[in-house]
Every structure is written in C-alpha cells, then in structure tokens.
Amino acid sequence: MSDNEYDDYFNPSLFLNENYTSTEYVFGSIHQKLLSSKAASTDHDLTGQVVWPVSILLSWFVATNAKIFQGKNVLEVGAGAGLAGFVAAQFAAHTAITDGNDVVLRLLKRNVEHTNANCDVLKLLWGEEDSVIEFVKEFPHDIDIILGADVVCWPNLVLPLLRTIKYLMHKTKDMYKPIFYCGFVCRATNTRDLLFEQAKSMGFKMWSVEHDKFLPSPRPENVYSVKELFLLCFQLDPSLLASKEPVLFLDELDNLQTAC
C-alpha cells in the first residue's frame, strides 16, 4: 500500500476522546462545576482536556481574591477546560476564555452550556497578528486581568505568548494597569529563566504570590504536584522604556507547539 493509499484509510478522529466527566470544584464558599477528561491525552496539543493542579492553584487565587475580579474584564489564555476563567466569570463584568485548539474550544463551548456561564469562548493563536486582531474585534473590552495556567510549557511558546499579552495591554486605555496572573509549572530552569529574561526585555515587571496568601491550610490534595508550582504576576513597567515599544509580530511560528 502506498503512502497516499494509507492516508485515505487513516482517520485521526478514531484516536480522539471527547467523552468528558463533570466534576465540581470547591474553593471555600465558591463552587464551580466543569467538564473535563480524567485521562491525560497522548497528544501534546490536547493536554487542555485535563484539569491540572496548576489550574486549580490559579483558580484558588481567583476565588480567594474575588474583589479583584469584581466588575472587571478578564481574559484567560491557553484555557484548556477553562477552570480559572469560569471561576472568574462568576465575578467579572466580561470574560473571554480562549484557546488555540479546535478540540479544546469545543470542550469550552460545552462547558459554557454545562455551567450557564456568562462568558465568550474565542480562538486566540499566540503570536499571530491576524488572530489577535480578530480577537480584539470579537471581544471589544479593555482587558483588566489576564489569566493563564501552565501556558509556558515549551521555550518557543514564550515570545508568542508575551507578544500577544503585551499587544492586548497596549490596546487598553492605560497599558500599565492590566496584570497577567500566570500559574507556572517549573519543569526546566532554562525555560523559567528564558521567560523572565524575555519578559524583562519587553518591559514587564514581575513578582510572585506566595501560596499561603490564598491557599487554605491544610493544602488541598488536588493542588499537589511533583513539579513546583508558582503564581507569577506580570505587568508593564512605566520605568522601562521597552514597555512603550510597539509589539512586532514576527514570522517565527513554523515550529510553534501550542500545548497548554
């Protein structure tokens, strides 16, 4: 059989599992039900079907700091099943929950129906100018807060992600007010260092939030991970000239992996 004939018989959808389980997550007095997969996908681009500990960590921060999100415009990037975004939607004025994968976007739309959430599900491809411009048209609100859980899985994701976030901050009335709250999994110190270096070179200031500021004690079992989890914060720094530089979307996306 030739390769072309093999392609005619190969159906990748046979390996796709879109059977999801509903789980209720409890963050003190705040409850959030969500559809997700209970088994990690073998496809690196479908890890968003699973709710990972770092997503629950970020969601605890959102739930514990509900006043920060009250009446604000919130965006979740690389949302996967969208737990943090859906929790934020309980308080926010407008919420956009985004991903770049069509299978994951179908899951997000099902979760909107499943939860009756007041939010928009939109496609957003990091580092792609056309995609970011289209997103701004579809979500015409100044973004106050950006959320992302485990969105820095690969070194070549860092620049496209930061460019997208900086561009969206520049589109607001005051680009120095929006904050990006990032649930970060430290799998490799070189990726972490690259994130910090490139963020600083683009004009961001960075800080972290200690877990005891928002996690209950004892620590919930579903927030444990074999890798260290961090809550990182990014905000454009008016004292850095680079913060004012416009974002240039460069064509460096040939080998971009969109996991997260």
pLDDT one-digit tens code per residue, 108-165: 999 999 999 999 999 999 999 999 999 999 999 999 999 999 999 889 999 999 999 9
Among positive and negative, which fits the CA dihedral 100, 116, 69, 227? negative
Q: Where in the chain are the domains?
A: 3-244
Q: Which residues contact 108 (CB under 8 A, 6 or more apart)?
A: 79, 81, 82, 97, 99, 121
The CA angle 182-32-229, to the nearest 5 degrees, is 30
Per-residue model confidence as pLDDT tens digits over 206-247: 999 999 999 999 999 999 999 999 999 999 999 999 999 999
Q: Tokens 């530089």 — which residue?
A: 245
- Give the span between the Cα atoms of 102 and 258, in whole angstroms: 11
Angle formed by the axes of helices 158-170 and 189-201, nearest 10°: 30
CATH class for the region spanning 3-244: alpha beta
pLDDT at residue 258 in the model: 43
- Does the reported pTM lie above 0.85? yes
